[in-house]
Structure 1
Amino acid sequence: MLTKTIVRKVVNSTIRPASHMAVLSRREIEQLRDVTGTGLHKLFRKCALAVLSSGSQVDSCEELMSMYPDFDIQVSERHQGIVLEVNNAPAGAFVDDQLIEGIRYHLFSILRDILYLRDITSNHKNISPNLQISHEIFYRLRHAGAFHPGVKPNTVVCWGGHAIPVEEYDYTKEIGYYLGLRGIDICTGCGAGAMKGPMKGAAIAHAKQRHKSGRHIGLTEPGIIAAEAPNAIVNELIVMPDIEKRLEAFIRLGHVLIIFPGGVGTMEELLFVLGVLSHPENKDIELPIFLTGPASSGPYFDSVIRFIEMTLGATSLNLIRKVIGDPELIAKLVNDALLHVTRERRQRDDSFHYNWSLHLDEAFQEPFLPDHESMAKLQLSRDLPTQVLAANLRRALSGIVSGNVKEQGINAIREHGPFQITGEPELMQAMDELLTSFAQQGRMKVQGDYIPCYEIVTDSTA
């Protein structure tokens, strides 16, 4: 007796998502590829085949799998987002080799909910603490709709002071205008001054260019909102849990950094990114940094550069480029830098929307709670690795920001007096000169005379 062989039509295809599920974390992709008992591949394969067999009269998972034993579905990461590679899928789900839209919706719905179920039931034991934090930041940004898959690198992060002179504010607005004429999006700390100016300039330029999808992203955190309340131009406001996650979000979401004149907070941000980029694992990462301001801000940047050279050294200094008094040139340089970033992301096959390749040590991720004890214990010596020194200097400045503007820090200073910052004599002298120059330039306090919330103490044993 002859056995009749049933030949079923199958299709191989690449399926692109039409939803926010175009963006998955590295951890989620690993789970979907994992074929072990703890992975999600087997479950996703079964569910996907059921969806692709929509309309079939088969009501048994086992029978369906036996009908399509060679069916497989794999998640592949691209710099513009993820795609699903399906092999030997039921042909009835396709029209002219294109997946039916309703089935595409169902396919990515099950992907979304399988991952969500795993996320709320898994304790992530197999992932290191620093990667857990990077994934948490990714999830928060995705939840806020911050990722636009398929869009080439186009986001410029602007850091600078919220209380700056009119001339400097006008300059930041000019920079934003020339960036906006080129269709570039702006991300800032969402406050006033150097955070508002670039957005305002870009908004005008976007309107002139009839660019209706211009993004003005504001990243903040609860402890600083009172000092830097969101300006009215922000059209995407994202609140991160603490200052460290806010800073990491900036450098993973943004593609180029512009540093305008500012105070201690701006210096804290600059030390953060220089410290991260100083790590040996990040030596090939493209994250261009420009320092710029009007001609009158020359003394400010001279102080900043002297401090970086004295503390972190020439290697860190080579990571930044200073351009004074030329907004249009900065816009052209930024536009060119975005092209370099795009090429580099493609070469590494890293996503455009989230810089996964950056390595961050725990020192840049663990929340630092500045009080008198933690500030006094900070190790500040040039004998430390560059990235460790940068992390500790960043923490010291974070404590000063807290003592200047945050309720908890102000109350601590009021009760126990100034924070004590101790370190190597030459390094402490450099810090004292930097902070004194900020005070003399009126960058430590919006109005009135500044009373320091800190004392610089030379470590006699250093």
Structure 2
Amino acid sequence: MPQGAAVQIPVSTLPTVDAQIYPKGGLDILSREEVARLRDASGGMHDLLRRCALAVLTSGSASDDPRAAQELYPDFDIQVNQQDRGMRIDLLNAPAMAFVDGQIIRGVAELLFAVVRDLAYTAIELGPEYEADLETTAGITDAVFRLLRNARVLHPTDPNLVVCWGGHSIGREEYVYTKQVGYELGLRGLDICTGCGPGAMKGPMKGATIAHAKQRRRRTRYIGITEPGIIAAESPNPIVNHLVIMPDIEKRLEAFVRMAHGIIVFPGGVGTAEEILYLLGILLREENAGRRFPLILTGPTGAAPYFEQIDRFIRLTLGDAAAELYEIVVADPATVAQHMAAGIRKVREQRVEQKDSFFFNWAMHVPLAFQQPFAPTHEAMAALDLHHGRKPHELAADLRRAFSGIVAGNVKEDGLRRIEAYGPFEIHGDPDIMQALDALLRAFVEQRRMKIAGDYKPCYRVVT
């Protein structure tokens, strides 16, 4: 065999482990109803629990196919048991990579407990009987708050949380750059929150760990916020020490905005474009005029054309006013961190002046159109109104949905099945918007920003 050649291990020989683990801290007990729902395999939460648990047990996986881990570990199962003096989690045929000398890795165990905690809470607090509470803007925002509070990630400390967005499929140069930015942020005492996966979601955390160690900061936060459709395709990276699973992409996006004191955007694909459009659509609302919210788009020198194309697309669709809401910094990690730290100081001043909390941005208005879950069916994608003449925040909402549908078709199991059954989504709109959208998506494909490995077959068709 040539030196350095990959060794293909037959699926049947992948090592597995059976284990019993006992959660500690924040997940010592569950109600009988919560346990019953987590164990219910006929329309209950058990299948979702199994898929999310398998994702964290394969933390660090290089695949972005949500079905890959299930195919590698088809016999894996998890059972949650309530006992007289606490609870026990039974793992059957679990990936051996999550264990060392028969003991589960502590960080992996914490992520596993977070999965059980969030799914148990969601099953009860956001179940069908509470649908009426989720039909208003205030009700949805309160649900997001309660989910984050239950996960114990809302800390009433000085503002210092930077959300970092960017692609899971990026090149080496861009990944190294995200680490450099994270390092500069960490030196300035800033904590990191990302989508919890690989690539630009891992790099800032990795850089910050070194800086935090140099500054002897021991109480550090590396928060990963995901949702069930994403976590199976993007397993949490090993640095995440606070994992939160929101019930859908819209609540995940709102959680980012409510928790962030500033946001940095690295190069990425359709998921990153979705996040940018979501945030700009909110900031363009009249109700949010004057809100302090530093937003920086940054990458290495080679990423300059990427941001130029993003900037052109935003100006064409949402107008120059949207472009005034962000700053583009190329190849200068220290400047990015300095500007972000300065922006967060202004956020603190405004929160103090307006008596708003440091840990949850209650004052930011998020309209219902940005909160309601979007099911990316072929009919819904074709019905999106991508035409000029609409208010910028309304067009941003539908553009966000278009990119969300493409994300689903790329990496989410339900989306993959729809594409396999009915072919690619069709997206309609004004010719110049469609041409710009098509050019942007083609660039993502050419730059290999859609998938980590393998040839990419588009899940969409732009109709001009």
TM-score (structure 2 length as normaliser): 0.71
Quick one: which of 388, 391, 406 aligns to 1:385? 391
Alpha-carbon distance, 1:119 to partner: 12
Q: Residues 346, 441 of structure 1: CA spacing in aligned structure 2 closer, same or farther, 3 A cutoff?
A: same
Distance 1:378 1:138 in 2: 30
1:316 correspondence with 2:322: yes
Distance 2:436 2:133 in 1: 43
Quick one: which of 404, 415, 420 aligns to 1:414? 420
Alpha-carbon distance, 1:448 to partner: 2.9
Quick one: which of 135, 142, 148 aligns to 2:142? 135
1:347 correspondence with 2:359: no
Alpha-carbon distance, 1:445 to partner: 2.1
Quick one: which of 247, 260, 263 aligns to 1:241? 247
Distance 1:158 1:198 in 2: 7
Deviations 1:255-283 (A, max 9, x none): 10000000000000000000011111011
Distance 1:126 1:157 in 2: 28
Q: What is the letter of the counterpart of residue 417 of structure 1?
A: G
Unaligned runs of 5+ in 2: 1-25, 27-124
Partner in structure 2 of residue 333 of structure 1: 339
Distance 1:408 1:277 in 2: 31
Deviations 1:185-221 (A, max 9, x none): 0000000000000001101111111100111000000
Alpha-carbon distance, 1:441 to partner: 1.1
Partner in structure 2 of residue 162 of structure 1: 168
Trace 1:236-315 onto structure 2 (pairs within 5 A).
Answer: 236-315=242-321
Deviations 1:238-264 (A, max 9, x none): 110000000000000011000000000
Distance 1:195 1:133 in 2: 26
Partner in structure 1 of residue 217 of structure 2: 211
Distance 2:253 2:198 in 1: 18
Unaligned runs of 5+ in 1: 1-19, 21-117
Deviations 1:296-347 (A, max 9, x none): 1111111111100110110001001000000011111111011010011111
What SS does the corresponding residue of 1:391 show, helix, strand or coil? helix
Partner in structure 1 of residue 114 of structure 2: none
Partner in structure 1 of residue 199 of structure 2: 193
What SS does the corresponding residue of 1:161 show, helix, strand or coil? coil
Deviations 1:354-401 (A, max 9, x none): 000111111100000101011011111121111110000000000001
Q: What is the letter of the counterpart of residue 194 of structure 2?
A: T
Distance 1:209 1:286 in 2: 28
Q: Residues 405, 127 of structure 1: CA spacing in aligned structure 2 closer, same or farther, 3 A cutoff?
A: closer
What SS does the corresponding residue of 1:148 show, helix, strand or coil? coil
Partner in structure 1 of residue 54 of structure 2: none
1:426 correspondence with 2:426: no
Partner in structure 2 of residue 436 of structure 1: 442
What SS does the corresponding residue of 2:385 show, helix, strand or coil? coil
Distance 2:221 2:446 in 1: 36
**Does the CA-based 8 Å contact 1:380-1:389 persist in structure 2?**
yes
Identity fraction in percent: 54
Partner in structure 1 of residue 106 of structure 2: none
Partner in structure 1 of residue 402 of structure 2: 396
Deviations 1:141-176 (A, max 9, x none): 111111111x11100000000111011000000101
Alpha-carbon distance, 1:227 to partner: 1.7
Q: What is the letter of the counterpart of residue 268 of structure 1?
A: E
Distance 1:126 1:455 in 2: 37
* Structure of higher CA gyration radius: 1
What SS does the corresponding residue of 1:230 show, helix, strand or coil? coil
**Does the CA-based 8 Å contact 1:376-1:419 persist in structure 2?**
yes
Trace 1:106-121 onto structure 2 (pairs within 5 A).
Answer: none
**Does the CA-based 8 Å contact 2:133-2:140 persist in structure 1?**
no
Distance 1:192 1:295 in 2: 21
Q: Residues 229, 119 of structure 1: CA spacing in aligned structure 2 closer, same or farther, 3 A cutoff?
A: closer
Distance 1:302 1:123 in 2: 44
Distance 2:134 2:232 in 1: 35
**Does the CA-based 8 Å contact 1:303-1:437 persist in structure 2?**
no
TM-score (structure 1 length as normaliser): 0.71
Q: Residues 393, 134 of structure 1: CA spacing in aligned structure 2 closer, same or farther, 3 A cutoff?
A: same
What SS does the corresponding residue of 1:146 show, helix, strand or coil? coil
Partner in structure 1 of residue 190 of structure 2: 184
Q: What is the letter of the counterpart of residue 440 of structure 2?
A: L
**Does the CA-based 8 Å contact 2:282-2:365 persist in structure 1?**
yes
